[in-house]
């Protein structure tokens, strides 16, 4: 009634998940019916699940830039999310997703994305951002679904490397090769950089 659900399957690997797009009623007299519909959808979803769309609901006072907040409806919304055992994806680049476009606008967070625990385990690097809003009073959401967690670019020395008898003999020559003139801090930084580069070379040969 308030949603459409599809099951997506990768053509090159095994992952499959269910995606439900919702449009919650603006008339809050039908909100409890909307909650019941979500529970019915969840009962028929067996795959990892993402629930996304315009819920026309807020969860806390910070979801609006005005003082008007219906705590009763918000409480029932939060209880429904808890019952469904869903996790909300944080929106990374804005606070609000809807505006009434008045000169002094009302802003609200009405559009959201939730995932099941199984979805989070299957796609651990999933993130949520917003798109460009050309005409609508709603900002479109963009869910980036990733299976791999990106590796940090920073270099970290592993203690286990010190247990390899070839590690220090490979690193110390680079450390001692740095000229010992200039300020002490500059020499230390140069030594660390030289040792880091030598560690990377050693690591490529001893994985």
Q: What is the pLDDT of residue 148?
A: 66
What is the reported pLDDT for 90? 93
Global model pTM greater than 0.75: no
Q: Is residue 149 over pLDDT 60?
A: no
Of the listed ranges 14-28, 67-81, 127-141, 176-190, the least confidently predicted one is 176-190
**Taking Cα atoms as reference points, which of 131, 138, 153, 119 lies closest to residue 16?**
119
Residue 188, pLDDT above cutoff 70? yes
CA distance linking residue 47 with residue 15, whole number of Å: 10
Break the chain into its structural domains and give their ranges. Answer: 3-144, 159-205
Picking from 72, 69, 52, the residue whose alpha carbon sits closest to that of residue 61 is: 69
Candidates 122, 117, 143; CA nearest to 42 is 117
38 Cα distance to chain centroid? 22
Q: How much is the average pLDDT of 58-87? A: 95
Render 95-138 in DSSP notation, one character per residue.
S--EE---SS--EE--EEEEEEHHHHHHSTT-EEEE---SS-SB
3-class DSSP state for residue 39?
A: helix
Choose among 64, 88, 67, 66: nearest CA to 77.
88
At 189 the pLDDT is 81
Where residue 119 falls (left for φ over 0; alpha for ψ -120 to 50; beta otherwise) is alpha
In the predicted structure, residue 183 carries a pLDDT above the cut 90: no
Q: Which residue has the higher pLDDT, 35 or 15?
A: 35
User: pLDDT tens-digit profile of 90-138?
Assistant: 998 999 999 998 999 999 999 999 999 999 999 988 999 999 887 889 9
8: its two tokens: 């997506």
Q: What pLDDT is stored for residue 150 in this prediction? A: 57
Q: How far apart are CA 203 and CA 164, in angstroms?
A: 11
- Give the residue among 118, 126, 44, 16 at the shortest CA–CA distance from 7: 16
Higher pLDDT, 12 or 17: 17
As to burial, measured by CB atoms within 10 angstroms (0-12 exposed, 13-18 middle, 19+ buried), residue 98 is buried
CATH class, range 3-144: alpha beta
Average of per-residue pLDDT values in the chain = 90
pLDDT value at residue 207: 67
171-187: average pLDDT: 81
């Amino acid at each position: 009634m308030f949603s459409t659900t599809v099951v997506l399957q990768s053509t090159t690997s095994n992952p499959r998940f269910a995606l439900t797009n919702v449009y919650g009623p603006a008339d809050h007299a039908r909100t409890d019916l909307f909650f019941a519909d979500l529970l019915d959808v969840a009962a028929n979803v067996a795959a990892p699940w993402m629930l996304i769309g315009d819920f026309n609901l807020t969860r806390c006072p910070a979801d609006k830039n005005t003082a008007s907040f219906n705590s009763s409806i918000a409480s029932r919304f939060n209880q429904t999310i808890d019952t469904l055992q869903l996790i909300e994806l944080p929106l990374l680049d804005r606070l609000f997703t809807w505006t009434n476009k008045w000169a002094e606008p009302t802003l609200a967070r009405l559009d959201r994305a939730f995932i099941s625990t199984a979805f989070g385990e299957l796609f651990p690097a999933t993130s949520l951002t917003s798109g460009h809003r050309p005409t609508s009073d709603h900002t479109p959401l963009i869910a980036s679904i990733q299976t791999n967690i990106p590796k940090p670019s920073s270099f970290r020395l592993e203690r286990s490397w010190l247990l390899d008898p070839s590690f220090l003999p490979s690193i110390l020559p680079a450390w001692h090769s740095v000229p010992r003139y200039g300020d002490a801090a500059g020499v230390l930084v140069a030594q660390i950089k030289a040792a880091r580069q030598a560690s990377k070379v050693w690591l490529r040969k001893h994985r």
